[in-house]
Amino acid sequence: MTGGERGGDTASALTSVPRHVGIIMDGNGRWAQERGLSRTSGHRAGAENLREIVKACVRFGIQILTVYAFSTENWRRPQPEVQGLMWLVGRVIDSEAEELNRNGVCVRHIGSLSRLSEGLRKKIQWATELTRENKRLIVNVAFNYGGRAEIVSAVRKIVHDGVPLQEIDETLIASYLDTAGLPDPDLVIRTSGEMRLSNFLVWQAAYAEYYSTPTYWPDFDEEELRRAIIEFGNRQRRFGLVSSQV
């Protein structure tokens, strides 16, 4: 699950590129503190880095990128930091949405719009509607998102719709999740060296490959992403089978 050695990997080494990559963008605060900056400055640097990783995903041929931007548990952080994050998301939408649209990127929101200000909700809805027809890369932004809350919401919708008990299976539940219609992630990357999911895509990532790097998110660049993809290509995905069956 850990990152490999640094080296001069080239595009030719990318023998297997994951279709769907999830990233837990961790370490913004620690990156800033080590530089004597505010945590908000770290989040700003992380937002700027996301622009470069989106470009790298297009170059590598990744079709879907899901990034963990703000969890349902993050509301418990100090209020100045939370308020700074809300402001930053609105600013990023204002500055990036039209360019993403021109570049064929479809932006989707997963999670709940509850607790967000009316202004921020409208900005998110505007960006998703603006880019909804784009096909070059799908970027799911998990904001005010929690994997368990997503499953609870799906179950409530199933009950509300009166689905007969015998019709409930994994395929049906998946169709009620925020990621309905999309393939599950092949690779989940976590930056900053932590080794946990933190309630990210807990249903969808059941058979994903995991990769952890000690690099903080603001420093996670194209070369770091390349190394994660190379490591993914070296894995044998068995989905519960034995090696001889794959």
Which member of 9, 74, 103, 219 is catalytic? 74
Per the annotation, the verdict on 74 as an active-site residue is: yes
What fold, for 11-146+183-233? Undecaprenyl pyrophosphate synthetase (3.40.1180)
Per the annotation, the verdict on 134 as an active-site residue is: no
Is a pLDDT exceeding 70 seen at residue 65?
yes
Which member of 26, 178, 184, 186 is catalytic? 26
**Would you list the domain boundaries of the chain?**
11-146+183-233
User: Which residues, other chains included, contact 110 with Cβ-Cβ below 8 Å and sequence gap of 6+?
Assistant: 66, 140, 141, 142, 143, 145, 150, 178, 179
pLDDT in tens, 73-114: 999 999 999 999 999 999 999 999 999 999 999 999 999 999
3-state secondary structure 234-245: CCCCCCCCCHHH
Could you give the C-alpha distances from 134 to 105, 106, 138, 162, in angstroms and in order?
6, 5, 8, 34
pLDDT in tens, 9-57: 444 468 899 999 999 999 999 999 999 999 999 999 999 999 999 999 9
- Give the residue ranges of DSSP H helices in 176-221: none
pLDDT in tens, 221-233: 999 999 999 999 9
